[in-house]
Amino acid sequence: MKVKFFAHLRQAAGASEADVDIQEGDTLENLIDMLSERFGPDFTDRIRDPTTGTLAPFLIMVGREEISTVRGDLKHKLNDGDTVSLLEPVGGG
């Protein structure tokens, strides 16, 4: 499957996208753990709160389906042909 990174996550991964091998039954939560292992502490610190280990607020797109790390379903099962995009939310006023 393909994972696309945006903003600070792209910088931390050192790439705009990555191919990831997943197993049947893998979830978004599994994918985030795999990416943290692959891209190391800088990536992990941007995707998880360094103190609590909880996921930082960001958006995940699986194809055209939007999932938020705050209220989303991280148990969402992935398929081999999926494209997952990881986007940090943009705030403003």
- Which pLDDT belongs to residue 92? 47
Q: Is residue 93 part of a domain?
A: no
pLDDT digits (tens, 9 = 90+) for 66-87: 998 877 889 999 998 999 999 9
- 66, β-bridge pairs: 61
Judge if pTM exceeds 0.95.
no
Give the model's pLDDT for residue 71.
76
In a domain, 92, yes or no: no
In a domain, 36, yes or no: yes
Domain count, the chain: 1
CATH number, domain at 18?
3.10.20.30
Distance separating alpha carbons of residues 33 and 39, to the nearest angstrom: 10
Any domain includes 24: yes
Question: pLDDT (tens digit, 9 = 90+) per residue, 11-47?
Answer: 999 999 999 999 999 999 999 999 999 999 999 999 9
Query: 65-87: string of b/e by CB count within 10 Å (b at 16+)?
Result: eebebeebeeebebeeebebbbb
The closest of 69, 70, 71 to 84, measured between CA atoms, is 69
